[in-house]
Structure 1
Amino acid sequence: MIHEPMRLRICGILAAVDEMQFAAIRDTLGMNDAACSKHLKTLADCGYVSVSKRESDGSRHMVRWYAMTPTGRIAFEGHLAELKRIAAGIVD
């Protein structure tokens, strides 16, 4: 699931923070709303990312916040370890 390049980048960003607003993820990666939503939904559906909605500061507008779940962190760290192993030329 994480191997798709944009989802890998999303996981990398979320692994470095406690949580992040949708707009910040989208803007950091230079994505459009639809593509960003699709990748985040895929990650949420498999339990790697959680989403919460909260009111924006000073308005009634709801803002989506995303965070890596413990399962997501384990999967991401495992994926990175495997990529490092492959890059080092270690094969089974």
Structure 2
Amino acid sequence: MSDLDPVIHAPARLQIMSLLAAVEEAEFSFLRDETGVSDSVMSKHATALETAGYVQIRKGHVGKRPRTWLKLSPTGRQAYKAHVEALHDIVARSGMTLIPE
């Protein structure tokens, strides 16, 4: 059985990783709004994921407004997949599944 990844397991980080797994990249403000955290909390989580090598952060401008985008790195995509598999293993021990039938 795989171990849960403590970097990913924090609820907001798990949400961020899940959202990023479904897209090529996402804007900081979208991720902040979807997770329901403040700018500063989102920034701390993004930095933690970047430090772990799980996300890549790109800064730029749309018009004159600064923007920040995040995307999963190949390492992050693999770590997220392993984390989800570990969650499946844990839930399977109870005889249940993560996806309702």
The aligned length equals 88
TM-score when normalising by structure 2 = 0.83
Runs of at least 5 residues in structure 1 that lack an aligned partner in the other structure:
none
The alpha-carbon deviation at position 5 of structure 1 amounts to 1.2
Superposed CA RMSD in Å reads: 1.1
The one-character-per-residue Cα deviations of 1:53-91 (angstroms, maximum 9, x if unpaired) are: 1211xx22220000000000000000000110110008x
1:4 pairs with 2:13: no
The aligned amino acid for 2:64 is: R
The aligned amino acid for 1:65 is: W
The alpha-carbon deviation at position 10 of structure 1 amounts to 0.6
Q: Secondary structure at the match of 1:2?
A: helix
Runs of at least 5 residues in structure 2 that lack an aligned partner in the other structure:
1-6, 95-101
TM-score when normalising by structure 1 = 0.91
Cα distance in structure 1, aligned partners of 2:25 and 2:18:
12
1:61 pairs with 2:60: no
Percent identity between the two aligned chains: 39
1:43 pairs with 2:49: yes
Cα distance in structure 2, aligned partners of 1:60 and 1:5:
33
The runs of at least 4 consecutive aligned structure 1 residues that moved more than 4 Å come to: none
Cα distance in structure 2, aligned partners of 1:33 and 1:6:
12
Compare 2-11 and 71-80 and name the one that shifted more.
2-11
